Structure 1
């Protein structure tokens, strides 16, 4: 089966489940894992600006997309000519069924189950001892955070953080003043590439508050990625359980 993945984390998951470059014939420019394998796969644009004609020229048997990451109109256009499966992954349970479904699709059920069990184990082992109020920022100018109906929120909750914006949805815009309640401000490495200088900017407003850069992939890449973040999460929670 020839498949095109329009989602970085799904591309990674397909390779993790054992598919090869012979089966994965197209991916977006943001599909960067595993680096040594994706470099051999045709790029068909970005997640939100697909090269439809290039996709057509590849004649895929299946296209895998995501409700949030891809543009509805582009996906509907592809549906006229190809089989397209659109996933919507907001919770850890959603993720379980995503990985399970991919395993069934490509006859990799055993491998999929191994990854699912590992993900649950990683999240279980990563729990912090007491609730820590957190603000997780994904963008700057304006600052944007995550509401309760996002995968990031669910990962935060699973390992013991209380999202101070849990009563909001999607990715609300906020101001620096809205972060006062947080015990920790997490600045994600993606999609906005927060750096140390951005910590310094917020330290001017909150000099006593814990502000840190976190690995955006560990929190936002669904599929199989969390299974490989055991050491990262272990080190992260040590920051709070000392």
Structure 2
């Protein structure tokens, strides 16, 4: 006879203010966000994670130990149903709203909503509470907060543009998690007044005249071969290929971000 852990209903409020009732502690977790998948594994929940997305590349064993549920926008509902999850963890921005609503009709779905470091720290603690890893999550959040607290801002932030896409050019603008990371890294986002992830033209980039142009490694795979293209638009700018995960992954990978930002200065 197999052992089935005792569970009790736990009611929590997620970062969208939704009340979620979860069998506690959850034993079958599906994660629909790569950075939160990595967090679950770092909290020691590898054996409880039964489903992840095809983009959950960290840790390396995530897609080997768990079934793949499709992407972050297109879920494999049949596969999820087969796994019988007692908790699904997602994110307002990264996941498709209609798909999340469909899942929430059948399963407990806890959603994060993150645009700042403080919200990322609250997410870590919230996931710790709902998965019975409160102490581990608190330690991880405290470590991350301390690393950023030690990252003293420069006297004068450097005007910068952060590119996430090419053809068309797209940047991370105001109201995004990347914008908050740029500020903490010592940069002033020249497109902060624009909303979210706008398309911009070469002429708009030239007019903004950033001192630094940061080309992210994801979602578009910018590489050294693209540097000359941007240098021609902004001859005076310094152009860097940067680790997009350390600017945009808001889970346990954030522990590495502050030290990385220091090297970019």
Q: Same fold (TM over 0.5)?
A: yes
Map of 2:264 onto structure 1: 236
CA distance in 2, matches of 1:111, 1:233: 25
Map of 1:240 onto structure 2: none
The Cα shift of 1:230 comes to 4.6
CA distance in 1, matches of 2:152, 2:67: 39
The Cα shift of 1:126 comes to 3.3
C-alpha contact 2:172 2:197 (8 A) present in aligned 1: yes
The Cα shift of 1:147 comes to 1.8
Tell me the TM-score normalized by structure 2.
Answer: 0.85
C-alpha contact 1:131 1:162 (8 A) present in aligned 2: yes
Unaligned runs of 5+ in 2: 1-26
Map of 2:13 onto structure 1: none
Unaligned runs of 5+ in 1: 238-242
Cα deviations across residues 88-128 of structure 1 (Å, max 9, x unaligned)? 11111111110010111122122112211222222233344
Higher gyration radius (CA)? 2
The Cα shift of 1:29 comes to 0.5
Tell me the TM-score normalized by structure 1.
Answer: 0.93
Is the counterpart of residue 208 in structure 1 residue 236 in structure 2?
yes
CA distance in 1, matches of 2:90, 2:247: 19
CA distance in 2, matches of 1:185, 1:154: 16
Is the counterpart of residue 64 in structure 1 residue 92 in structure 2?
no
C-alpha contact 2:185 2:258 (8 A) present in aligned 1: no
Map of 1:119 onto structure 2: 144
Count of paired positions: 236
CA distance in 1, matches of 2:94, 2:195: 16
1:1-150 matches, cutoff 5 A:
1-20=27-46, 22-129=47-154, 130-150=156-176
CA distance in 2, matches of 1:222, 1:18: 18
In structure 1, the residue corresponding to 2:65 is in which secondary structure? coil
The Cα shift of 1:2 comes to 0.7
Q: What is the root-mean-square deviation of aligned Cα atoms in Å? A: 1.4
CA distance in 2, matches of 1:75, 1:37: 22
